[in-house]
Amino acid sequence: MVEIRHYPEMSSIANLLPSPQILLGKRISWQEKRDGTNLAVTLVDNEIKLFTRHQEASEQFVKYFWATEEAVKVENFLHDYTWTEDLFDGVNDFSFQPVVFGELLIKGKSPARFELHDKHEFVVFDIWNTAQNRFLPYIPIYQHCYHYSLPIVSCWGVSRHTTLESLYTFRDEMLLQAKEAGREGVVLKTFDGNQHIFAKEKLDVPIIEKVQMDDGAIRLPPLPDSEVYGAINKAHADLGEDFRDKTKAMPLIAIYTAAEEKKHLCSKPLKSLYSYYLAYLEGFGEGTTQENL
Q: pLDDT digits over 166-181, tens only?
A: 999 999 999 999 999 9
Asked if residue 163 and residue 128 are part of one domain, the reply reads: no
Least confident of 131-135, 141-145, 202-206, 218-222: 218-222
64 contact partners, CB below 8 Å, separation of at least 6? 104, 106, 120
Q: pLDDT digits over 41-76, tens only?
A: 998 888 899 998 778 899 999 999 999 999 999 999
Asked if residue 186 and residue 214 are part of one domain, the reply reads: no
Cα Rg of the chain (Å, integer): 19
Residue 83: pLDDT above 70?
A: no
In order of 179, 208, 212, 231, 262, the CA distances from 258 in angstroms are 27, 18, 21, 9, 6
Residue 287: pLDDT above 60?
A: no
Asked if residue 134 and residue 171 are part of one domain, the reply reads: no
Asked if residue 18 and residue 87 are part of one domain, the reply reads: no
Q: pLDDT digits over 194-242, tens only?
A: 688 999 999 887 665 544 444 555 577 899 999 999 999 999 999 999 9
pLDDT value, residue 40: 94
Least confident of 78-87, 195-204, 279-288: 78-87
pLDDT value, residue 266: 86
Asked if residue 146 and residue 185 are part of one domain, the reply reads: no
Asked if residue 29 and residue 166 are part of one domain, the reply reads: yes
DSSP labels for 67-88?
TSTTHHHHHHHHHT---S--TT
Query: Which CATH number does the domain housing residue 112 bear?
Result: 3.30.470.30
Least confident of 7-11, 215-219, 257-261, 273-277: 215-219
Asked if residue 192 and residue 146 are part of one domain, the reply reads: no
Domain end residue (candidates: 109, 126, 152): 152
List the domain range (segments joined by +) for residue 76: 35-152
Residue 288: pLDDT above 80?
A: no
Pairing between strand 134-135 and 217-219?
A: unpaired
How many domains is the chain partitioned into structurally?
3
**In this structure, is residue 248 part of a structural domain?**
yes
Asked if residue 99 and residue 116 are part of one domain, the reply reads: yes
Pairing between strand 195-202 and 47-52?
A: unpaired
185 and 199 in contact (C-beta within 8 Å)? Answer: no
What percent of the chain has a predicted confidence (pLDDT) above 90?
A: 57
Using CA atoms of 142, 139, 57, 291 in order, give the dihedral in degrees to the nearest 10: -20
* Range 29-35 average pLDDT: 95
Asked if residue 145 and residue 39 are part of one domain, the reply reads: yes
Least confident of 158-162, 200-204, 249-253: 200-204
Half-sphere exposure of 112 (CA within 13 A, CB side): 22
pLDDT value, residue 188: 97
